[in-house]
Structure 1
Amino acid sequence: MSNIITSIKTKAKRIKKDIFVLVEVYKHPKTPLYIKLLSIIVVGYAFSPIDLIPDFIPVLGYLDDIILVPLGILLVLKLIPKDVLQECREIVAKSENVKKKNWVAGTVIILLWIGILFWAISLFY
Structure 2
Amino acid sequence: MKLLNQIKEKVRKLKAEIQVLIFAYSDKRTPLLAKLVIGITVGYLLSPIDLIPDFIPILGLLDDLIIVPLLIMWSIRLIPPYILVEARKSVAENPRKLQKTNWIFAIIVLSIWIFLLYFAYQKFGDLIFKYL
**What is the TM-score with the length of structure 2 in the denominator?**
0.74
Letter in 2 for 1:102: Q
Instruction: Describe the superposition over 1:21-51 as per-residue Cα deviations: whole angstroms up to 9, x where unpaired.
Output: 1111110010011100000100111121211
How far apart are the structure 2 equivalents of 1:69 and 1:112? 20
Contact preservation (8 Å) 2:11, 2:65 = no
Superposition map of 1:6-21 within 5 A: 11-21=10-20
Q: What RMSD over aligned residues (CA atoms) do the two structures have, in Å?
A: 2.6
Paired residues, what number? 119
**What is the TM-score with the length of structure 1 in the denominator?**
0.78
Superposition map of 1:1-125 within 5 A: 11-97=10-96, 100-102=97-99, 104=101, 106-120=102-116, 124=122
SS at match of 2:55: coil
Unaligned runs of 5+ in 2: 123-132
How far apart are the structure 2 equivalents of 1:21 and 1:35? 13
Unaligned runs of 5+ in 1: none
Contact preservation (8 Å) 1:25, 1:88 = yes
- In the TM superposition, residue 109 of structure 1 has moved relative to its aligned partner by 2.6
Instruction: Describe the superposition over 1:61-84 as per-residue Cα deviations: whole angstroms up to 9, x where unpaired.
Output: 111111110111011111210111
Question: Cα–Cα, structure 1 residues 23 and 101, in superposed 2: closer, same or farther, change >3 Å?
Answer: closer
Contact preservation (8 Å) 1:45, 1:51 = yes
How far apart are the structure 2 equivalents of 1:117 and 1:79? 27
- In the TM superposition, residue 20 of structure 1 has moved relative to its aligned partner by 0.9
**Structure with the greater alpha carbon radius of gyration:** 2
- Between the aligned residues of both structures, percent identity stands at 41
How far apart are the structure 2 equivalents of 1:81 and 1:18? 15
- In the TM superposition, residue 115 of structure 1 has moved relative to its aligned partner by 2.4
